[in-house]
């Protein structure tokens, strides 16, 4: 079950980062700072969690995901709906 949740979050964040569609719900453009660095940190924390599903690794994974979502939310082309979906997916993971 944990793996399914992890992959759901990963898919949501990939969609968040790869959103190219422009719409009226697009977040106002701002500086898109540290997104690459935070995406790498998120990826590394996901790998660590998949290898060893400890509470500490899960907490680190969720924190890295939230940091990445926060940074990506200021990027042009990212919709409010994508941000909300990614946050809800990440919230659904229960660290034990």
Q: What is the pLDDT of residue 33?
A: 75
Is 79 a domain residue?
A: yes
Is 96 a domain residue?
A: no
Q: What is the pLDDT of residue 49?
A: 95
Average pLDDT of each block of 10 consecutive residues along the chain (96 residues)? 53 49 47 85 96 96 95 89 95 93
Q: What is the pLDDT of residue 21?
A: 44
- Which residues, 6+ apart, have CB-to-CB distance to 23 below 8 Å? 79
Q: What is the pLDDT of residue 13?
A: 54
Is 70 a domain residue?
A: yes
Is 68 a domain residue?
A: yes
Q: What is the DSSP string of 14-68?
A: HHHHT-----TTBPPP---TTHHHHHHHHHHHHHHHHH---HHHHHHHHHHHHHH
Q: What is the pLDDT of residue 74?
A: 84
Is 84 a domain residue?
A: yes
For the chain, how many structural domains are there in total?
A: 1
Angstrom distance (rounded) from CA 73 to CA 31:
10
Q: What is the pLDDT of residue 32?
A: 78
The residue segments making up the domain with residue 18 are 2-91
Is 52 a domain residue?
A: yes
């Amino acid at each position: 079950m944990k793996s399914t949740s992890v992959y759901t979050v990963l898919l949501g964040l990939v969609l968040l980062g790869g959103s190219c569609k422009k719409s009226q719900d697009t977040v106002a453009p701002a500086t898109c700072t540290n997104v690459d660095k935070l995406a790498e940190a998120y990826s590394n924390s996901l790998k660590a969690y998949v290898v060893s599903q400890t509470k500490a690794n899960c907490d680190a994974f969720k924190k890295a995901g939230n940091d990445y979502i926060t940074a990506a939310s200021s990027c042009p082309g990212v919709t409010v709906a994508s941000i909300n979906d990614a946050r809800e997916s990440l919230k659904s993971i229960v660290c034990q």
